[in-house]
Amino acid sequence: MAKIDAVCKEVIEKTEWIAISTAGPDGPHVVATWGDYVRALGINEDTILIPVGLMRKTEANLQRDNRVELLCGSRQVQGTRGPGKGCALVGRAEFQTAGPRYEAVKAKFPWARATLVVSVEEAKPQL
């Protein structure tokens, strides 16, 4: 069954940016990517690819603890109480610097030093 359901997919298709949070030894750490970057790489039912330019601290955090949570939202998606819906994507992530997922990112974003591959385990709608 698809981990990223139709509602969360619609939010990802319309979000301007996506927050990416990891856990570090001194607490939580949040970075971001643009929604159009993620869309350019294609959203399948349980994997998100993110081009990595910097994200050094995120990389160090994931080497210790590969759990990740993403959060995005859009006013263009109808929520239960009005315009605006969000989606949290919970899963595991790793940096890849070789292989087909890295090549796919490099082809669209020549500046990328790696691909952040997020394997979504649960998608949780908000609002």
Ligand X SMILES: Cc1cc2nc3c(=O)[nH]c(=O)nc-3n(C[C@H](O)[C@H](O)[C@H](O)COP(=O)(O)O)c2cc1C
Binding footprint of ligand X on the chain (CB under 6 A): 17, 31-34, 37, 50-58
Nearer to ligand X, 1 or 54 (CB): 54
Of the pair 4, 20, the CB lying nearest ligand X is at 20
Q: How far is the CB of 26 from ligand X (least distance, A)?
A: 13
Least distance CB 80 / ligand X (angstroms):
26
* For ligand X, the closer CB: 55 or 89: 55
Concatenated DSSP letters for 60-109?
HHHHH--EEEEEEEEEEEE-SSSEEEEEEEEEEEEEE-SSHHHHHHHHH-
Torsion angle, CA of 70/72/78/80, rounded to 10 degrees? 50
